[in-house]
Amino acid sequence: MATASEIAAVGVIGAGQMGSGIAQLAAAAGCAVLLLDADSAALTRAVASISASLRRLAAKGQLSQAACEDSIKRIRCVSTVQDLREADLVIEAIVENEDVKKKLFVELDKITKPSAILASNTSSISITRLASATKRPSQVIGMHFFNPPPIMRLIEIIRGADTSDEVFAAVKSFSERFPDVFKICRLGKTVICSQDYPGFIVNRILMPLINEAFWALYTGVATKEDIDTGMKLGTNHPMGPLQLADFIGLDVCLSVLRVLHNGLGDNKYSPCPLLVQYVDAGRLGKKRGVGVYSYGQKSSNVKP
Ligand code: NAI
């Protein structure tokens, strides 16, 4: 099993909002990064956004020009899971769907080297169940980054029922390596550890808040702007819950609420019909240009 200092090559699967940020962090931490996505257009977008983000940092003097260009060069886009066979650590950030993730873990277990650690950036799905799809459950762990990964200071690490102490220690210390080399995170990444319960720590508390904001909008308590302004100024949150849901992705919020509802069996986690309708309409949030709010794109007919 790889120790933190032996993690030299990192595979990142899923080059969307989260995977691209994780790839950027791993490259800036000095690792060779193999970035895989089922959609080649997502890879092209990810490389463009990582390069632009690193070059912005270099232009501001937060990263040297050489470190910036070296980090970009360390990222290689690949097209099949087989291309990840040399990875010491694979971090999966694909769609929040248990069956799809399990299928991927089965494949990863077959092709990666026996010492490789397999991590999931899942927002809510059981690490124990993902691990059970492999023959190396002691080397499977949750590494839950926050959006956007290069900026947000927290990483929530989730131990499955069989995750070994060695794997936990390696991933914790690897995670704490990010801020040392990536100057944007001046204050450093902080690691918290959660047991493997639905939604872990942060989403178990955050998603009911977001869901309640949707209920308030759905039942006409107030406008979206007033709900968000109320929570921003009334509770000193940096952004309101509806805007935050747009940033996270409404599809991700809905998936997490369903995991909480199924796993904890309490109706308080039952997703608000308005959230379900937005997702059905393809209003997935900022990444699609429209969610609760519009981001420079024509909105659909779904009205709160
Ligand atoms: P996204 O929709 O931006 O990106 C997902 C990417 O995965 C897409 O580019 C898609 O083409 C690719 N993909 C889907 N299935 C695939 C497969 N089988 N093989 C290879 N690529 C595949 O989603 P986002 O927001 O980046 O979320 C990804 C994961 O991270 C989810 O598990 C989500 O719950 C989790 N997460 C999301 C956060 C957020 O704020 N959006 C925060 C923390 C975790």
Q: What is the ipTM of this complex?
A: 0.99
| Triad 115, 100, 111: Cα angle to 5° | 25
Give the residue whose CA is nearest to atom 13 of ligand 1. 94
What residues are annotated to the active site?
Answer: 123, 144, 156, 203
Please say whether the beta carbons of 239 and 247 come within 8 A.
yes
Strands 154-159 and 140-145: antiparallel
At the fourth CATH level, which superfamily is domain 4-194?
NAD(P)-binding Rossmann-like Domain (3.40.50.720)
C-alpha 285 to ligand 1 mean position (Å): 14
CATH number of the structural domain 204-288 = 1.10.1040.10
C-alpha 37 to ligand 1 mean position (Å): 9
Strand order in the sheet with 154-159: 75-78, 32-36, 9-13, 89-92, 117-120, 140-145, 154-159, 190-194
Element (H, E) at 147: none
**Is residue 97 annotated as involved in ligand binding?**
no
* Helix, strand, coil abundance in the chain, percent, nearest 5: 50, 15, 35
Output the pLDDT for position 2. 76
C-alpha 220 to ligand 1 mean position (Å): 32
Alpha-helical runs (H) found in 60-188 = 65-73, 98-111, 127-132, 165-175, 178-181
Pocket of ligand 1, beta carbon within 6 A = 13-19, 36-39, 42, 93-96, 100, 104, 121-123, 144-147, 248-249, 252, 287
Segment 232-251, tens digit of pLDDT: 999 999 999 999 999 999 99
Task: Evaluate the omega torsion of the peptide bond into residue 148 and state whether it is cis, within 30 degrees of 0.
Answer: yes
**Which residue do the tokens 């956007």 mark?**
148
Tell me the domain boundaries of the chain.
Answer: 4-194, 204-288
Per DSSP (E only), the strands in 53-206 are: 75-78, 89-92, 117-120, 140-145, 154-159, 190-194
pLDDT in tens, the chain (304 residues): 778 778 999 999 999 999 999 999 999 888 999 999 999 999 999 999 999 999 998 898 888 899 899 999 999 999 999 999 999 999 999 999 999 999 999 999 999 999 999 999 999 999 999 999 999 999 999 999 999 998 888 999 999 999 999 999 999 999 987 654 455 544 458 899 999 999 999 999 999 999 999 999 999 999 999 999 999 999 999 999 999 999 999 999 999 999 999 999 999 999 999 999 999 999 999 999 999 999 985 445 555 5
